[in-house]
Structure 1
Amino acid sequence: MGDIHELVIKHGREVARAMVRPEDRPLVDIAAEILADDRQHLGITYSGFCLTSLPHKKLADDAPWEKRGHQVTLLVEPGRLKVNGKMKLFGVPYGARARMILIYLQTQAIRTGRREVELGRSMRDWLTRMGISVGGETFKGFREQSLRISACGLKFFWDGAEADAFEKGGIVKRGLIFHENATDERQGSLWEDVVQLDETFFQALQDHPVPLLEEAIRQLKDRSLSLDLYVWLAYRLHSLQKPQPITWASLYGQFGAGYDQMKHFKPRFVQAMQYALAAYPGAKVEGADEGFILHPSRPPIARLTA
C-alpha cells in the first residue's frame, strides 16, 4: 500500500489515479486526502475498541453481542429507554454510524477532560465536518444509533484482570437523544445540549486512550470493517518491538463475525485492509500466505492534544 502514497507524492492525485486500476482509484483519493491534511486534528478511542468491536450489521433487538479480541472480550447487551412515555427495547448499536458517534464522544471527552460532552446548538456542524450530508435517512440512521448507544449495557472483560468495574457500565449515562423534529437548522439543536458518558467508561477511556487521525476517520466513515482495522492498527503497530505475524485463523476469529466461511471472509478483509492502510500512510503491514505481518510503525498521530 505504500506504493499508493508514493505515487501520490511523486505524481499528484490525478496522475496517480490514471496509473492505477479503476477499482483502486478510491484508495488514491483517500491517500491524497490524508497526505494533504495539514490540520492533523486528533481523534480518540478506548483501547478496548481497538481489540474488539461492535457488530457490523443489525442483530435482533433482544440479541446480545459478544466479541472476543486479543486478551479482551466485549459484551454489549440491549437496553430500554422511555420514548414518548413508553419503555422501548433497543438492540445493540452497529455499523459505521455507531462507530463514528462513539469516536466523536470519546474525542471530545478527552479533549476537555470531562465526561460531559457539550454538543452545541446543532450536530449539523459536526456531521458536515465528518463529510456526512444531513438528510432524512441519514438523520434517522444517526438517531437510531444514538438511542442504541444510550440504551445498551457495556462490559469489557480483560484476561487476567478484574472485570467488575464494567459490570454495570454502559457508554452514555444520559443525553444522547436526537429530537424528532430537529432536522431543520431553525428548529434548534439536533441532540440534547450535553451528553454525559458513563463514569466507569470515562475512567477507562482516560486511562487507556488511543490517538487517531480525524481525517482518517472521515475517509473511512462508510466502511465499518475498515474503521475497525484502522483503530486496531493504530493501537498495535506503534507498540511492536519486532515484526509480528498474524494468521488468517486469528484474523478470522477477531474480525470474521458474520462470515460463515474463511473463503468469504478473506477477500472482504483484504479489501477492507487496503482502505485502512490508505488512511494510515505510516503503517507497515505485509501480506503473507498465512495472513499478514505487522511491522513496528509510527502512530497515525503523535500527540494527545488538539
Structure 2
Amino acid sequence: MENPTEKRRSYQLNKERKVYYPTPLISGSLPYVETSATIWERTNGRDVMRYSAGAIIYPDGTCGHVLPYGSYARHALVFLTTEAVRTGSTRISLKDSLRGFMKQVGLPYSARNAAQLLEQLRRIAALTVDYTAVSKASESVTVEQAGYRVGIRQRLTFSADGDLGEGGGENFIELSRDFAALVLGLDEENRHTMPIDLERWGELTSSTKSPLAFDLWLWLELRDNSLEKPVKISWEQLRQQFGSQAEEMRVFKQKFKTALKTALEHSPKATAIELGNVRGKAKGFKGLEIKPNKGTQGKLL
C-alpha cells in the first residue's frame, strides 16, 4: 500500500516556488469562452499569431477539433510549462502531479475541476501555433513564418466515471521537440518562459476566474521587465490583441477595464491611464498609457 507521506512528496515545485508561462503566448491570448471556430488569430503590431485546433479523441470514441479556452486553459499552459522546467523532461506525468499542482496554485481539487483542467490540457497539447510577421520596405515585402505543435502524444486511461484511471499504465502528455526547445532551451538564459511567483499566481487565482484578467496580469508582468518609461497603446491595438473584431468597441472597453483593474491590483509596478476618454469622434489618441508605478499597488486612472 502506498505511503501517504511518500505520495505527498511525489510533487514538489522548485525551491524558488516559481511557476512558468511560455513568453511568446502572452502576446496572443487564447479564446476566453468556448468557440466553434477551429482557427483563432491574434494581432500584435506586425505579428500575427494563429492557433489551430487539433483532434481530441474522447473515451466514447468521438472526435472533436476544439480550441482551448477560459481560465483553465491558462492554468493548463502554466502546468505543462512548469512541469517541463521542473523535470527537464518532455513527458509530463498527470496523475499525482496534476492534483499537486492544483493544490499549490490554489485551485480547489474536485472531480469536476480536475476534469475541466484535463480537458484544457488535452486541447493545449493538440494545439498548433503559427507566427507570421510581415515587413514592408520601399520596394519589397518580407514574410516570416514559424510554428510548432505543443504536444505530439497523449496516453490517458479513463475510469468509468470519466476520471483518470490507473489500469492502463502511466497517464502522460508528451511535448513536441519544438515546444520543449521553446520552454526549456539549451540553458536557463535561452528559455522563452516567464517565471511567476507561486504565491502571487495563487492570489490571482483566488481573486478571479476571468481569463482576460489572467492575460492582462501576464502582459503587465512581462512589460514590467522592460517598462522604464510610459508606453501608449491604442484601443484598437488592444482589441486586436485581447478582444474580438466582432465585438463592439464599447463592449470591449468595458470588459477590458474591469479585467485590467483586477490585474493591476495584483501587479503593483504599473499604472494605466486612459487617454482620449471623451464622447463623440474627437481627434487625437484614444487608448491607454502604461506607466511605471513606484507604489505598492497598480492603478487604473
Superposed CA offset, 1:211-242 (max 9, x none): 22233333333220011101111222321342
Residues of 1 paired with 2:245 and 2:158: CA distance?
Answer: 32
TM-score by length of 2: 0.72
Q: Which has the larger radius of gyration?
A: 2
Q: Indicate conservation of the 8 Å contact 1:147/1:177, yes or no.
A: no
Greater per-residue strand proportion: 2
- Give 1:57 deviation, angstroms: 0.9
SS of residue paired to 1:154: strand
Q: Does 1:283 align with 2:270?
A: yes
Q: Indicate conservation of the 8 Å contact 1:146/1:178, yes or no.
A: no
SS of residue paired to 1:108: helix
Unaligned residue ranges in structure 2 (runs of 5+): 1-14, 136-141, 278-285, 295-301
Superposed CA offset, 1:183-224 (max 9, x none): 789x659x9544321111121223422222233333333220
Q: 1:183 to 1:85 in 2, by over 3 A?
A: closer
What is the aligned partner in structure 2 of residue 220 from structure 1? 204
After superposition, the CA RMSD in angstroms is 3.2
Return the structure number with greater relative CO, CA threshold 8 A, min gap 6: 1
What is the aligned partner in structure 2 of residue 209 from structure 1? 193
Q: Indicate conservation of the 8 Å contact 1:146/1:176, yes or no.
A: no
Mapping of residues 119-130 of structure 1, within 5 Å: 119=94, 121=96, 123-130=98-105
Residues of 1 paired with 2:31 and 2:67: CA distance?
Answer: 8
SS of residue paired to 1:98: helix
Structure 2: which amino acid aligns with 1:237?
A: D
Residues of 1 paired with 2:123 and 2:107: CA distance?
Answer: 20
SS of residue paired to 1:156: strand
Q: Does 1:236 align with 2:223?
A: yes
Q: Indicate conservation of the 8 Å contact 1:247/1:292, yes or no.
A: yes
Q: Indicate conservation of the 8 Å contact 2:224/2:269, yes or no.
A: no
Structure 2: which amino acid aligns with 1:204?
A: L
Structure 1: which amino acid aligns with 2:182?
A: A
What is the aligned partner in structure 1 of residue 41 from structure 2? 66
Among candidates 147, 152, 159, match of residue 173 of structure 1? 152
Q: Indicate conservation of the 8 Å contact 2:28/2:49, yes or no.
A: yes
Matched residue count = 256
Q: 1:138 to 1:112 in 2, by over 3 A?
A: closer
Q: Does 1:52 align with 2:53?
A: no
Q: 1:143 to 1:243 in 2, by over 3 A?
A: same
Residues of 2 paired with 1:243 and 1:176: CA distance?
Answer: 48
Segment drifting more, 220-229 vs 257-266: 257-266
What is the aligned partner in structure 2 of residue 35 from structure 1? none
Segment drifting more, 94-103 vs 288-297: 288-297
SS of residue paired to 1:121: helix
- Give 1:55 deviation, angstroms: 0.4
Structure 1: which amino acid aligns with 2:204?
A: L
Segment drifting more, 122-131 vs 259-268: 122-131
Residues of 2 paired with 1:118 and 1:172: CA distance?
Answer: 13
Among candidates 236, 243, 246, match of residue 249 of structure 1? 236
Q: Indicate conservation of the 8 Å contact 1:50/1:228, yes or no.
A: yes
Residues of 2 paired with 1:178 and 1:128: CA distance?
Answer: 22
Q: Indicate conservation of the 8 Å contact 1:121/1:193, yes or no.
A: no
SS of residue paired to 2:119: helix
Q: Does 1:114 align with 2:89?
A: yes
Residues of 2 paired with 1:88 and 1:245: CA distance?
Answer: 44
Mapping of residues 9-158 of structure 1, within 5 Å: 41-60=17-36, 63-84=38-59, 86=61, 88-119=63-94, 121=96, 123-158=98-133
Identity of aligned residues (%): 25
Among candidates 196, 199, 222, match of residue 177 of structure 2? 199
- Give 1:295 deviation, angstroms: 2.4
Structure 2: which amino acid aligns with 1:129?
A: Q
